[in-house]
A and B are shown apart, each in its own frame.
Chain A
Amino acid sequence: QSALTQPRSVSGSPGQSVTISCTGTSSDVGGYNYVSWYQQNPGKAPKLMIYDVTKRPSGVPDRFSGSKSGNTASLTISGLQAEDEADYYCCSYAGSYIHYVFGTGTKVTVL
């Protein structure tokens, strides 16, 4: 099972919006509404930011939003802040045989 494809890096100035794509197949991203997004800071465990494509856990700022179209899911960070600089990973359920697959990861840089 191949990892989901994410851009290696994205960047933006404070206050701008950035979008991270996560491309899979009809067997994972396109087949289920079970895409989640995790933020990871250096040396730390990942933190859930989005689940079930569009839902945001309590405590996650509403500038984080998720969406999906076909086999590609996206995470958008609106009103970028310095504290958003981190690595971001998507993860998709992929059925009862493969189960789960992570994305390749994207480094977000705040300029």
Chain B
Amino acid sequence: DTGVSQDPRHKITKRGQNVTFRCDPISEHNRLYWYRQTLGQGPEFLTYFQNEAQLEKSRLLSDRFSAERPKGSFSTLEIQRTEQGDSAMYLCASSLDRVIVYEQYFGPGTRLTVT
């Protein structure tokens, strides 16, 4: 039984470059979430997928950000033209669509540093 995995774990990039992160959820989980966590803060919601459909997007997700989950399994988060303010931990979580409890299981995160 494997948990949520994310790749890469660390990414250093120069301002203006594009980066892409991957998330592999727990296999039977149909819901997938992306969060961003800056230093000393709690995670903030970015976007959510149910199967392959992207159903919610936060206002934090500017037009430089795009997320996909093409076959309802793994997901990618791309940031174009990175800025220093994009430096953060990007967390992916997944959950199972149950009636009452929606606990989310998180991956180890991708730490992005924009220089």
The answer to whether A binds B is: no
Binding site for B on A (CB under 8 A): none
Binding site for A on B (CB under 8 A): none
